Amino acid sequence: MHSAAPSTPPRTGPVTVRTGCDLQPVAEVADAVRRFGSRYLDRVYTPAEQDAWRTGGAASLAARWAAKEAVLKLVGRPDAVDPRSVEVVRGPHGRPGVVLSGAAAEAARRAGLGPVDISLSHTTDLAMATAVAVSQPTRPSSETEEP
């Protein structure tokens, strides 16, 4: 569930598999919600992700935060992207998916990433996520040939 940029430069170089992972203590997320409330929620999570929290609790939010971090590690920009530009969605049959927008989508495009797949898990104490994508480097647009 990755949105590709409208024009993707031609692929060059070998295809590789890229991964990102993250582990998040549930208590840290629960504490941030308790201390900062909607300021924290609105800064980190999309409205749809906040709805999922209302039904799944802090462990659900922690898993989504871990997924955001895993995807940002995968695209290579863990600290320079608005976390809301990585949205964790519920796909068919409840399987989690991810939709990238803004700087996260642009970083993924520049890295030559195909669709990003994620896996989430949590206990009452810890949440984890893994993100995987195939990468094939792209040629910079200044090097592309005219059709």
* pLDDT at residue number 78: 61
Taking the complete model, does pTM exceed 0.85, yes or no?
A: no
Question: What range does the domain containing 89 cover?
Answer: 16-137
Residue 142 has pLDDT above 70, yes or no: no
Give SS3 for 85. helix
On whether residue 3 sits in a domain, the answer given is no
Q: Is residue 8 part of a domain?
A: no
For the segment 118-147, the average pLDDT, to the nearest whole number, is: 79
Confidence band for 91, pLDDT divided at 50, 70 and 90: confident
What CATH number does residue 55 fall under? 3.90.470.20
Mean pLDDT of 91-96: 88
Interacting residues of 117 by C-beta distance below 8 A, sequence separation 6+:
97, 131, 132, 133
Coil, strand or helix at 102:
helix
- The number of folded domains in the chain is 1
Asked, for residue 130, whether it belongs to a domain, the answer is yes
Please give the structure tokens belonging to residue 114. Answer: 């195909």
